[in-house]
């Protein structure tokens, strides 16, 4: 009987209390585009903080790879 009450209590508590969700803060690079005029990639730095993403402006990065 005590085991049953513990299981029921766990189920009720699981429905009442929201589960924790981990959200890691991170920074990453994103390619904006490859310019055909000067053959360079343009990139931007993006940040994820508290589940929200924001990106900076695009900047000149590295030469484009030749297309096959």
- What pLDDT, in 10s, does the model give residues 11-65? 766 676 666 555 678 899 998 888 877 788 899 999 988 888 999 999 988 888 7
Confidence of residue 67 (pLDDT cuts 50, 70, 90): low
Closest CA to 26 of 49, 45, 43: 49
pTM: 0.53
Backbone angles phi, psi at 6, to 5 degrees: -65, -40
The predicted structure's pLDDT at residue 68:
47
Closest CA to 24 of 49, 4, 44: 49
The predicted structure's pLDDT at residue 64:
80
Asked if 64 and 43 touch (Cβ cutoff 8 Å), the reply is: no
The predicted structure's pLDDT at residue 18:
62
Q: Which two tokens stand for residue 62?
A: 């590295």
């Amino acid at each position: 009987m005590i085991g049953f009450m513990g299981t029921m209590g766990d189920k009720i508590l699981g429905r009442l209390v929201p589960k924790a969700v981990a959200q890691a803060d991170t920074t990453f690079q994103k390619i904006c585009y490859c310019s055909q005029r000067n053959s360079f990639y343009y990139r931007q730095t993006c940040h994820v903080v508290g589940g929200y993403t924001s990106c900076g402006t695009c900047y000149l990065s590295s030469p484009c790879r030749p297309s096959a």
